[in-house]
Amino acid sequence: MDGVHVIERNDFDALLDALTRRGYAIVGPTVRDQAIVYDEIASSADLPAGWTDEQEAGHYRLRRREDEALFGYAVGPHSWKQYQLPAEVKLWRARVDQDGGLSNVTEPPRESPRYAFLGARSCELHAVGILDRVLLGGSHPDPADAGRTKDLFIVAVQCGEAGGTCFCVSMKTGPVAERGFDLALTEVLEEHRHYFVVEVGSERGADVLADVPHGEAVEEDRTAAGAVHARTASQMGRELDVTEIKELLYRNYDHPRWEEVAERCLTCGNCTMVCPTCFCTTVEDVTDLAGEHVERHQRWDSCFTVDYSGIHDGAVRGSAKSRYRQWMTHKLATWHDQFGTSGCVGCGRCITWCPVGIDLTEEAAAIRESEEGPK
Amino acid sequence: MVPEPFEIVVKRRDTTDTWTFELEPRSGEPLQFAAGQFTMLSAGGAGEVPISISGDPDRPERLVHTVRAVGLATRAICDADPGRVLGVRGPFGTAWPVDEVRGMDVVIGAGGIGLAPLRPALMSLLARREGYGRLVLMYGGRSPDQLLYPDELADWADRGFEVLVTVDSAGPEWLGHVGVVTRLVRRAELDWTATAAMLCGPEVMMRFMVAALVDQGAQGENIYASMERNMQCGIGHCGHCQLGPTLVCRDGPVYCWSELAPWLAIREL
Ligand SMILES: Cc1cc2nc3c(=O)[nH]c(=O)nc-3n(C[C@H](O)[C@H](O)[C@H](O)COP(=O)(O)OP(=O)(O)OC[C@H]3O[C@@H](n4cnc5c(N)ncnc54)[C@H](O)[C@@H]3O)c2cc1C
Ligand code: SF4
Ligand code: SF4
Ligand code: FES
């Protein structure tokens, strides 16, 4: 498993072929509707070659690069969450009997493809792990959830440049993926050469690599990859001081800053939809027109809706302030107590995709500054 | 996430809007549970809701639920008649500390439908009557005809529970107490520092009840409460039941008050 290898750009499709031959459905980045999203990938022609993404609070735009990098962007609005926990899942289907009772309750077949995630970033690997911990780490793991990512093959890509809203360095989730992958690629673009420095993270990874034309990495290749990693780490668009952040937020549930952010927040829930770890779902029973069958559907939900906290005599969190506070304290503080990890990996999606550019790093910093003075 | 079929074998009307159901598992496998736990219950395609088990933990052959019709899902359940099959997942959640409070005086404080989740604890305490000091039920309802389990209240009194009942309002034929349940706390002369309390009812009622208990000298760590939050899954996956650093379906519904108190002081948590 040891060693560092090199795949030339011209041989890259052999990697995809090797995965396809092993029965994996490859999902990876592709350009659609002016964004880089995740979808099934047939060949490197589907990848966002030559594109990068410009990201700021409330701002995302694709821009042409000066080179033909396949992975020269940060992260888009999609995350691997959509494969671990799809936006809508059919839980079961049943017949409705004459008297209104149910019979023939059946679960849909679990026919998830074996996925290969191509282009997963370090922060995303952490997010996949966090979501697994929530869904599978408790005392009631759902086999349907487990089935979706069983035998997952991960081709990580080390970030070649940080996005404008990234803060993985603060969250200690990146930019360099150190484990949790089968293969990890660092894309290197030189004037006359385009290649990938490859680290092998598992036996399966080694097996796939053996099927792809590759060479041993020489000293210069390693140095080039190291330079990419160092450059990315120095480019973080955002920063978040996480020193005792749980305690900080626990002390400040009544901070005036929550009112201020609530005045701007539209409670649209975009931040929860794009977040790779936000896992909240709701269920709905759907009856067919004839009333003969019923299905229970589970779909993504957001703590920004009033109904989310509704009990029959009203919502627990009626105000926008309480809902933004619930979301941010969950990501950065209560998640630690609930699941033994942070709920945020510093990917910056919630900042980029917030229509009014609300930035949790800025909100946390404001609360910290009110206690400690400006940094 | 697929519910188990349970057939309604007995349906008893408790009040104008509340029914108690006895259910038998189609599988023949009794649902073992601890007093205080709940199931996710559903009738037809009308949604699934958390409902506490209100039966005797020593007799799990029949699953007992007491349900108040307040909305879509609970109304569909209450409309179901014997012979109908309901969907059940569970049991889930934490239990009343029936064993932990051995040797102590125990106050059961219930408001309205809140007596249902406490009934299994009451039954367990009575089944092991000699293990406890004084047992006092303080039960508040809206009016005399809204009280749950009237026959059993008398039976519990015969078997060693001091049963104190109060209603918000009543006609002249009512000879019992009128007023809020917290008033009963002051009436009961207990050795408060060695008294445990188990509470279930509307959140405001529990807050006032705790204040009254603590005022008398009861210790926060001896007070337990069953909390209600929106629940979509019951198994720690949907996020809806969050209460600060906890998930009510997993870390509750029964909590020790001293752990909860700082969180409940935060509005709209
Ligand atoms: C641990 C626990 C134990 C409970 N035990 C009992 C009991 O023994 N007997 C009893 O009568 N009631 C009990 N309840 C309350 C009962 O769950 C609610 O009355 C019921 O969920 C209301 O649903 P509904 O659809 O009938 O009401 P509606 O008002 O129609 O509900 C509207 C919507 O809000 C949602 N909703 C409302 N309240 C809740 C909730 N608590 N959880 C999830 N979704 C909710 C419903 O899913 C629905 O979509 C308990 C609640 C909890 C959390
Ligand atoms: S909270 Fe924001 S930055 Fe953190 S993981 Fe979620 S989307 Fe990324
Ligand atoms: S923080 Fe931004 S994205 Fe999140 S709910 Fe508020 S307005 Fe929407
Ligand atoms: S009810 Fe879904 S997490 Fe508790």
Least confident of A254-268, A327-341, B174-188: B174-188
CB–CB contact B240 A301 (8 Å): yes
A262 and A189 in a single domain? The answer is no
Q: What span, in angstroms and rounded, lies between the C-alpha atoms of A20 and A26? A: 7
A168 and A257 in a single domain? The answer is no
- Residue A182 located in a structural domain: yes
Contacts of A319 in chain B (CB under 8 A): 268
A81 and A200 in a single domain? The answer is yes
User: Structural domain of residue A364, as residue ranges?
Assistant: 245-279+302-369
Atom of ligand 4 nearest to the CA of B249: 4
CB-closest option in B2, B238, B269 to A107: B2
CATH 3.40.50.80, applies to B105-226: yes
Chain B nearest CA to A172, separation (Å) = 22
Does position B6 have pLDDT exceeding 50, yes or no? yes
Contacts of A92 in chain B (CB under 8 A): 1-2
A30 and A129 in a single domain? The answer is yes
Atom of ligand 1 nearest to the CA of B74: 26
- Residue A212 located in a structural domain: yes
A172 and A317 in a single domain? The answer is no
Are B137 and B158 contacting, i.e. CB atoms less than 8 angstroms apart? no
For residue B1, give both structure tokens: 């996430």
Q: Strands B223-226 and B161-167, how do they pair?
A: unpaired
Q: What span, in angstroms and rounded, lies between the C-alpha atoms of A109 and A90? A: 10
- Residue A101 located in a structural domain: no
- Beta-strand ranges (E) seen in chain A are 4-8, 25-32, 35-40, 51-56, 59-64, 88-96, 102-106, 115-120, 153-158, 183-189, 194-200, 215-216, 281-287, 293-300, 310-311, 314-315
User: What is the fold, at CATH topology level, of the domain defined by B4-92?
Assistant: Elongation Factor Tu (Ef-tu); domain 3 (2.40.30)
> Per-domain residue ranges for chain B?
4-92, 105-226
- Residue A292 located in a structural domain: no
pLDDT tens by residue, B44-57: 889 999 999 999 99
Does position A1 have pLDDT exceeding 50, yes or no? no
Query: How far does CA A252 lie from the centroid of its chain?
Result: 28
Task: Give the containing element (helix H, strand E) for A15.
Answer: helix A12-21
Ligand nearest to the CA of A353: 3
CB–CB contact B237 A322 (8 Å): no
Question: What was the ipTM of the complex prediction?
Answer: 0.95
CB-closest option in A92, A254, A338 to B245: A338
Ligand nearest to the CA of A311: 1
CB-neighbour burial class of residue A97 (10 A; exposed 0-12, middle 13-18, buried 19+): middle
Query: How far does CA A149 lie from the centroid of its chain?
Result: 14
pLDDT at A103: 87
Kindly report whether the global pTM for this prediction surpasses the value 0.90. yes
Mutate to test the pocket of ligand 1, among B19, B21, B51, B233 (most ligand atoms within 8 A of CB): B51
Exposure of B90 in the CB half-sphere (CA atoms within 13 A) = 32
Q: What is the mean pLDDT of chain A?
A: 96
CB-closest option in B229, B233, B245 to A311: B229
Q: How far is CA B167 from each of CA B109, B113, B164, B183, rounded to the nearest angstrom?
A: 13, 13, 10, 11
For residue A145, give both structure tokens: 């959830």
Does position B252 have pLDDT exceeding 80, yes or no? yes
- Residue A187 located in a structural domain: yes
A273 and A151 in a single domain? The answer is no
Q: Which long-range contacts (CB under 8 A, 24 or more apart) does A133-136 make?
A: A133/A339, A133/A340, A133/A341, A134/A277, A134/A279, A134/A339, A134/B236, A134/B237, A135/A84, A135/A85, A135/A279, A135/B237
A130 and A257 in a single domain? The answer is no
Handedness of CA A245, A251, A253, A259 (dihedral sign): negative
Ligand nearest to the CA of B77: 1
Are B242 and A331 contacting, i.e. CB atoms less than 8 angstroms apart? no
Does position A266 have pLDDT exceeding 90, yes or no? yes
pLDDT at A313: 84
Are B237 and A142 contacting, i.e. CB atoms less than 8 angstroms apart? yes
CB–CB contact B268 A318 (8 Å): yes
pLDDT tens by residue, A81-95: 999 999 999 999 999
A226 and A269 in a single domain? The answer is no
Mutate to test the pocket of ligand 2, among A82, A238, A272, A275 (most ligand atoms within 8 A of CB): A275
- Residue A316 located in a structural domain: yes
Atom of ligand 1 nearest to the CA of B93: 1
pLDDT at B264: 94
For residue B225, give both structure tokens: 């409460």
Predicted confidence band of residue A101 (pLDDT cuts 50, 70, 90)? confident
Q: Strands B4-15 and B85-92, how do they pair?
A: antiparallel
pLDDT tens by residue, A5-34: 999 999 999 999 999 999 999 999 999 999
Handedness of CA A118, A121, A126, A131 (dihedral sign): negative
For residue A251, which amino acid is it?
Answer: R
Segment A235-242 shows an average pLDDT of 96
Does position B75 have pLDDT exceeding 60, yes or no? yes
CB-neighbour burial class of residue B63 (10 A; exposed 0-12, middle 13-18, buried 19+): buried
Measuring from each residue's beta carbon to the nearest atom of ligand 2, which residues come in under 6 Å?
Answer: A 274-277, 331, 344-350
- Residue A284 located in a structural domain: no
Ligand 1 geometric centre to CA of B132 (Å): 33
CB pairs under 8 A between A and B: 131
- Residue A324 located in a structural domain: yes
pLDDT at A122: 98
pLDDT at A2: 61
**A115 in contact with ligand 3, CB cutoff 6 A:** no
A121 and A176 in a single domain? The answer is yes
Q: What span, in angstroms and rounded, lies between the C-alpha atoms of A229 and A142? A: 37
Per-position DSSP letters for A102-159, written without gaps between them: EEEEEPPP--PPPEEEEEE-HHHHHHHHHHHHHHHSSS---HHHHHHTTT-EEEEEE-
Size (chain B), residues: 269
pLDDT at A264: 98
**B42 in contact with ligand 1, CB cutoff 6 A:** no
Does position A65 have pLDDT exceeding 90, yes or no? yes
Segment A220-242 shows an average pLDDT of 96
pLDDT tens by residue, A153-168: 999 999 999 999 999 9
CB–CB contact B230 A144 (8 Å): no
| Domain total in chain A | 2
Q: Which residue from B minimizes the CA distance to A144?
A: B1
Q: What span, in angstroms and rounded, lies between the C-alpha atoms of B216 and B118? A: 22
Q: How far is CA A40 from each of CA A26, A44, A320, B198, rounded to the nearest angstrom?
A: 6, 11, 38, 55
**B249 in contact with ligand 1, CB cutoff 6 A:** no
Q: Do domains B4-92 and B105-226 have the same CATH topology?
A: no
Ligand 4 geometric centre to CA of B223 (Å): 24
Does position B119 have pLDDT exceeding 50, yes or no? yes
CB–CB contact B44 A101 (8 Å): yes
